[in-house]
Structure 1
């Protein structure tokens, strides 16, 4: 049985968590807030029709925008309510229920599916089961195409430090290419309260 994630723990304490999350972003969208920074960041690295894995996709906010920009998107999340919203709003993409720590997406022939880009924004690494962020990074790395790249965004203030992340990334066979402090590519500075990391496999991960 998969270890319970921090998101699941919070959902047990607050059954309205997913509904409130959906409502909060709907309000932001209707107010004119820019919610597509992550998608623009990812899109700038991709050719049209690229294969994208949105890891911890939630309502499909990022993956749905990437699909609208011409990419083939698969999203994975554990929260059935958030996935239902993704399927309703972005029916042209594939939205799967699953735990990122045990992620193993296979095609009809039984081969592991690999992606040109894996993106995991929205503090996903801070909400996985305690102590499993490294396992999650390893699972995401295993789904990268040979020239694929992984992008993650998280706040070290959420309990997952930058140093631990660097150690986990190295253990997962990943090399950190660049660190930013925002999705509009501002440089990473000491004490930054957010991290956007662009990573590549040190070698092909099967």
Structure 2
């Protein structure tokens, strides 16, 4: 991605932004876990299984960088995108070898985002913290940037998540996925692939090649 810091457009505020200081505990928690040597690589292990060696991976909402850094350490070419300035700073400090783009994924020109990713990662409740009514825009973009045979790994709390997160039922998510030219290849209840559960959902998605490709990303992406 050619632009290192593009955050600050007229995009609507995300649910994460609306929480303000209420989100600061996330970075503090994972900084402590990393310092203590705790296992914080669960999502990355599953992501690594989904691709071949040296894959191109896009991490949308990369947070403080733990998943992207773990995938990079496994030999993948990772593009990390994160809109929260505090988390971008923490990521750059904690994982100095990981390049992080400070931007909302919907605020990056399609040409700058790139294409042909073997895997797109949206874990850690990214989908339920998006700005209202932008979920399909993000999913359309996921479909567009995937390489042939590429997949997306998504994980979130459908209910009872953090205070400002939306409730996002599996039925509503599947409807959005289908409307955006994607399909569900797998649903599980954890990154260790336990059976589907009510409190957390893990999804592996891929392109539905029989569906029409998206042609527009909406007003926020023009120009």
> Normalized against structure 1, the TM-score is what?
0.88
Match of 2:23 among 4, 17, 40: 17
1:107-166 superposed Cα distances (whole Å, 9 cap, x missing partner):
5xxx84331100110000010011221221111221111111011000111311111100
Match of 2:45 among 34, 37, 40: 40
- Most deviating of 162-171 and 87-96: 87-96
> What is the match of residue 7 of structure 1?
16
| Cα root mean square deviation, aligned | 2.0
Q: Indicate whether 1:178 and 2:180 are aligned.
A: no
Distance 1:112 1:30 in 2: 33
> What is the match of residue 138 of structure 1?
140
User: How far 1:104 sits from its partner (Å)?
Assistant: 3.7
Distance 2:94 2:157 in 1: 27
- Most deviating of 97-106 and 131-140: 97-106
1:44-98 superposed Cα distances (whole Å, 9 cap, x missing partner):
1222211000110011110000000110111111101111222223233331122
User: How far 1:99 sits from its partner (Å)?
Assistant: 1.8
Q: Indicate whether 1:59 and 2:67 are aligned.
A: no
Cα 1:68/1:39, change in 2 over 3 Å: same
Cα 1:103/1:155, change in 2 over 3 Å: farther
Cα 1:152/1:103, change in 2 over 3 Å: farther
Distance 1:2 1:98 in 2: 11
User: How far 1:102 sits from its partner (Å)?
Assistant: 4.4
User: How far 1:180 sits from its partner (Å)?
Assistant: 0.5
- Structure with more contact order per residue of length (Cα contacts < 8 Å, sep ≥ 6): 2
User: How far 1:105 sits from its partner (Å)?
Assistant: 4.5
Distance 1:117 1:74 in 2: 11
> What is the match of residue 150 of structure 1?
152
Residue 156 of structure 1 aligns to a residue whose secondary structure is coil
Match of 1:169 among 177, 182, 186: 177
The gaps in structure 2 that reach 5 residues or longer are 1-9, 162-166, 215-223
Residue 141 of structure 2 aligns to a residue whose secondary structure is helix
